[in-house]
Structure 1
Amino acid sequence: MVEQKPLRVLVIISDTNAYWEKSWSASEDLLPVAFEILQENCLVENTYKHWPKMRLLAKEKWATRVFLVFDISNTSYDPEVGHLPQQNNLPVAIVRLGATVQAYTAAIPVQNKINKDVARAHNNSGIKSLPPFVVDYTSGPPTYLNPRDPSLLRQTTGSTNFASFCYVGV
């Protein structure tokens, strides 16, 4: 059996898309949908005979967008060290579900940002926490009471989340 290369996927779901309601309440159900879109756009290898192992890592909700991040075929994933930046160096694809559907490979700076945001989500969620890491911004910014490593909390103000990809041409 050929080992598949791991891939991290950011899925951005707009409130204009039919999957909007399901995106928060049944996020795991969207992973196969996103995988099929990636296949249709030749962004994953077509050598899969069965569904690959997919793991939802993080989900974030804003007023008009939901962001899901999941890994495909990442056999080296370890939640104990997932907060460390060196554990998050995967190639990234982006799937946008809005009025139209788009899928593309993220540019290197965008991949780096998404991978850092995943590490940050691990850290902020606390020791012994397991994915998916859930953040709901619809009621304001979250508070992290027990981060794994407080020194890794973002020191600057501004976006510390996947939402920064919503309005830029990535």
Structure 2
Amino acid sequence: MASPPPESPIRILITVKQRHPQIWKEAWEQPEKMISRVLKYLKYDNLVSLNEKYDTSDCRFIAVDRWDPVVFIVFDLFNTQYNHLDAHLEGKNELPVRVVRISQGDNSYLIKASEAQHIKYLSDEVRNLHESHGWEEGVPFRIDHHNGAYPTYYHPRALPKSKGHREKRIHQNHSLSPMTTYVALLRGINVGGRRKVLMADLRELLSSLELDHVRTYLQSGNAVFTASEPLGEIHTCVDKAISERFFNDIPIFLRSGEDVDALIKENPFVSECDSLPKSVHVIFLSSSPEAEKVKELDSYATREEKIVAYGEHLFVHFPNGYGKSKLTPTVVERILGVSTTARNWQTIMALQSMMEDDA
């Protein structure tokens, strides 16, 4: 017997990740089947049969949206106020949401549902879908962003765990936490054919840790992603995963978007960057150096080379080229007593641009 209608309408968001390829494909090609499974799981299976259209106030199919990492299916229950003609307006479609995750078990589908909560990302996206599809086209909307970027429905890691949900590699300790954009810099990979790490493999690994919107830049080990956990927790988990998957001695340098913005603001070599951005490098340090040790580095610099310390970073201007300098990573690490990795200013600005996409 089905549950009685709730006191207020509710929206259901089904998510199926691509790492479950069979049901990911089914979610896109036969979303009604997924809706039927979820209705049964939520004990509302008598609302409609599979042969009926999901287009009444009892159960209205809103959209199916396919992206590389995930397929989203959105439908409403008991939303008697829905009107296609004004669903694009501010203040409309702001319903409490239950997020339902479907994954592949040994012999069956595994379904986990969160408690109802307000998710502004989803409300905004439903309005945007109605806006972009105009007046004539009604629901359900079918949007194929296969091979596109991660959508803005919601940040999966900012949701509380479903009851009985498996423990994550990175734990969620708070509900609807603000998302932070991070950049992870790996040192010493893909140099001269040694310590090879494919960027596709790195993206796959970081995504498996439930980090969001994972992207990489160049082959030198630069990854941008979003997460709700603090920097220290992320660093510990990423460092452990990379050690287990690739090499156990790859230093990882993690910075937030705010850290990178502050770094750019403090740049003492603005004019040099404008004329030749690759001549200015930022050396990332595992800890802040002692002032006396930074001064000691000056003895290895040429007259034209300039060093400026800022927190856990060194700004260095190499007018004659980084490769010709005596300020090698070995020298810097020996004198300062810290681990390092360096990126030129062109790379820094490219990474900031990627991080701004998440702002």
Q: Secondary structure at the match of 1:23?
A: helix
Q: Aligned residue pairs: how many?
A: 140
Q: Which TM-score applies when normalising by structure 1?
A: 0.70
1:131 paired to 2:139? yes
- Deviations along 1:106-165, whole A, 9 cap, x unmatched? 543x2x221111111111112222111222111447xxxxxxxxxxxxxxxxx6532x43
C-alpha distance in structure 1 between counterparts of 2:66 and 2:45, whole Å: 33
> Is the Cα contact below 8 Å between 1:17 and 1:97 reproduced in 2?
no
Residue equivalent to 1:156: none
Query: Quick one: structure 1 residues 17 and 104, their matched pair in 2 at CA, closer, same or farther if it must change by over 3 Å?
Result: farther
Report the Cα offset of residue 104 of structure 1. Answer: 0.7
The answer for unaligned runs of 5 or more in structure 1 is 40-47, 142-158
Which residue of 134, 141, 165 corresponds with 2:155? 165
Query: Quick one: structure 1 residues 133 and 54, their matched pair in 2 at CA, closer, same or farther if it must change by over 3 Å?
Result: same
C-alpha distance in structure 2 between counterparts of 1:138 and 1:50, whole Å: 33
Please tell me the residue identity of whatever aligns with 1:31: I
Regions of 4+ moved over 2 Å: 2-5, 17-21, 36-39, 98-101, 105-108, 159-162
Residue equivalent to 2:112: 102
Query: Quick one: structure 1 residues 11 and 65, their matched pair in 2 at CA, closer, same or farther if it must change by over 3 Å?
Result: same
| Backbone CA RMSD of aligned residues | 2.5
Report the Cα offset of residue 17 of structure 1. Answer: 6.4
- Deviations along 1:52-107, whole A, 9 cap, x unmatched? 62111111101231001100111221101111122212111110112453201254
> Is the Cα contact below 8 Å between 1:37 and 1:95 reproduced in 2?
no
Query: Quick one: structure 1 residues 17 and 30, their matched pair in 2 at CA, closer, same or farther if it must change by over 3 Å?
Result: same
C-alpha distance in structure 2 between counterparts of 1:68 and 1:49, whole Å: 17
1:55 paired to 2:76? no
Query: Quick one: structure 1 residues 160 and 24, their matched pair in 2 at CA, closer, same or farther if it must change by over 3 Å?
Result: closer
Please tell me the residue identity of whatever aligns with 1:24: W
The answer for unaligned runs of 5 or more in structure 2 is 49-57, 105-109, 160-359
C-alpha distance in structure 2 between counterparts of 1:98 and 1:20, whole Å: 9
C-alpha distance in structure 1 between counterparts of 2:5 and 2:64, whole Å: 27
Q: Secondary structure at the match of 1:58?
A: strand
Query: Quick one: structure 1 residues 18 and 94, their matched pair in 2 at CA, closer, same or farther if it must change by over 3 Å?
Result: same
Structure having the higher Rg: 2
**Identical counterparts, % of pairs:** 26
Which has the higher relative contact order, 1 or 2, with Cα contacts under 8 A spaced 6 or more apart?
Answer: 1
Residue equivalent to 1:74: 79
Q: Which TM-score applies when normalising by structure 2?
A: 0.35
C-alpha distance in structure 2 between counterparts of 1:86 and 1:31, whole Å: 26
